[in-house]
Amino acid sequence: RRRGRGRTKETGACRRYPEAVFELDFFRQNPEPFYELAKALWPGPHSKPTKAHKFVKLLSDKGQLVRCYTQNIDSLEVAAGVPADKVVAAHGNFDTASCVATGEKVDAAALREALFAGEMASFNERSGGLCKSDIVFFGEALPARFFNLLAPDFGEAELLLVVGTSLEVHPFASLIDLGRPTMPRALINRERVGEALATRLTAGGSGFNFTDAAVVPRDVFLPGDADATVERLVAAAGWELPGSV
């Protein structure tokens, strides 16, 4: 899911400005389209963790999770009960907010209140300039924590699970080629992706190879719905998803 945007309804801002809504230069010139979209994207009572999210919690509970790297911006991993320090939100989320002009943090709850009250102009004025949730826009760097944890996490990991993604957005897509060259990797997805991938974080990375011709046969494709697939995996392990009856 690209930056987690695909799971929200289309708004007028999306129709009029497409990807420009998430461009930093466009935001500086005209923040209103993003503010309109942010109200639809902001996680609320309608945002519920899926079985795939609960699977990540189960792995954490079992002491099997090194880290969960996510492109989604809805914080549903933490909502499912995954400890926040076990999650790296590579493209940010709504949990924190900053002033674009000063780089200083602002109160995310106060920003949300101003956003839904239509009072962002006065909030920005009080805060020293344009403010937004800490969602990574085009033109912004990914969080430092993302890069700082890559080497230790992938050095420790013994298995890589890749769930529900197009593997089109870099540098996130390049993560599949980190770690030991013999580390098993499983793709849980509706379609095969990440093959012959020109990665950017590694030298010589080539993505998945699900064929019998692989020099190191380490990649497995588990096709279908992610929730249904993790249910089968959990059952095969003799486990139970959190919240299951």
- Ranges of beta strands (E only) in 137-223 are 160-163, 185-189, 219-223
C-alpha to C-alpha distance for 218 and 95, rounded to whole angstroms? 36
Q: How many CB atoms lie within 10 A of CB 216?
A: 11
Residue among 183, 180, 188 at smallest CA distance from 160:
183
At 91 the three-state DSSP class reads coil
Catalytic residue at 91?
Answer: yes
Choosing from 46, 53, 91, 170, the catalytic residue is: 91
Helix boundaries (H) for 17-99: 24-29, 32-41, 51-61, 76-79
| Pairing outcome for strands 105-106 and 92-99 | antiparallel
On the CB side of 72, how many CA atoms lie within 13 Å of its CA? 23
Q: Enumerate the active-site residues.
A: 91
